[in-house]
Amino acid sequence: MSKQLAVWLGAGLLAGSGGLASAQQPLIEGVSVAPFGKTTGGKNVEVYTLQNKTGMSAKIMTYGAIVTSLKTKDRDGKYGDVVLGFDTLDAYLKGHPFFGAIAGRYANRIAKGKFTLDGKTYSLFVNNGPNSLHGGKVGFDKQVWRAKPIKSKLGPAVRFDYLSKDGEEGYPGNLRVSVTYTLTSDDALKIDYMAQTDKATPVNLTNHSYFNLAGKGDILDHRIQLNAEFYTPVDATQIPTGEIKSVLNTPFNFKTIHKIGDKVLDLEGDPGGYDHNYILDSRGSLSVAAVEVREDTTGRRMVMYTTEPGVQFYTANFLDGTLTGKNGVNYAKQTAFCLEAQHYPDSPNHPKFPSTIVRPGKPYRQTTIYKFSTFGGAGK
């Protein structure tokens, strides 16, 4: 056992040891906790509820650090849930397409489940055709994280901690991860990520929430402005070809706001919808909007800001109605969209892409913000 790992374990951050919150622990203003069941291995799972002073609320559970609910107001002041998920832990345990989860150690795909780092080749679990996806067979989305409410001037917050051991899912290094969710006073869900390692390793973390600003139906009439002039084309297995291509004069162009469904049928090869990495014009600035989405019937607006260089825009093409979600709703194709802030897919195998390698003494940090508001009549 390394000295660094011993320090981490001594700090009580051993993965899978359950939540820190209990009925005996006083919670801070705007944060409450409730039991949500047990895993098949008998680990307790809790749900933390954040509520700000405007009435917006978020629920995040210790299993997968999953956002299970996010309630925001519409233009009439009525609150509704804008993320997909389930009513029970058992439904999550049976398997799902990463609803609301933290994806890692490496979000998105790594080609053929292999990469070479410092002269050594590592093999990962292959779980998506020929490739490794979102961390492998048992990624961060299937781990029980430790959780602790923290004081923040911005609003109620909870920090989730997980220690991914050296060799987990084939990745090198003991990686200590913390993800802090803050529900701000100006109606934003702010997600701060930090990771430290004792051995060089690739790291790419994201939140995989499925959004529907109407709360029901498909999302093809949602209007989106994606501030990205370039994207990374992919092969038939969704692995980047290495090319950086302009969105101009293609169905991938959302530089000006328009409906998601306007050009879906024009996509080459008919992948069923969007599932592509965009290179953001914001270049890591939290003062520049990366993406804006508007839903005309409710007047809900969501703006995403991120320090990440890319975002995976996914339109839930693989939902097929077989999953029954919250309130008995069957989740059909394109009933949600995802905006997964990230580094590029398969970066460890593309030296020209921004590096995802984290080394000892140089922590990984990332911040993504989803800010909610309302606007006037349709088309405004």
- Token pair, residue 69, equals 């609910």
Residues with Cβ within 8 Å of residue 270, at least 6 apart in sequence: none
Spatial CA neighbour of 42 closest among 68, 14, 16, 9: 16
Contact criterion met (CB below 8 Å) for 109 and 239: yes
- Active-site position among 208, 222, 276, 350: 208
List, as one string, the DSSP characters of 33-61: EEEEEE-TT--EEEEEEEE-TTS-EEEEE
User: Other CB atoms closer than 10 Å to residue 22's CB: what's the count?
Assistant: 11
Question: What span, in angstroms and rounded, lies between the C-alpha atoms of 319 and 252?
Answer: 21
Q: Known catalytic residue: 46? A: no
Contact criterion met (CB below 8 Å) for 167 and 136: no
DSSP 240: B
Task: Name the strand (E) or helix (H) holding 312.
Answer: strand 310-314
- Active-site position among 222, 340, 343, 350: 340
Active site members: 208, 340
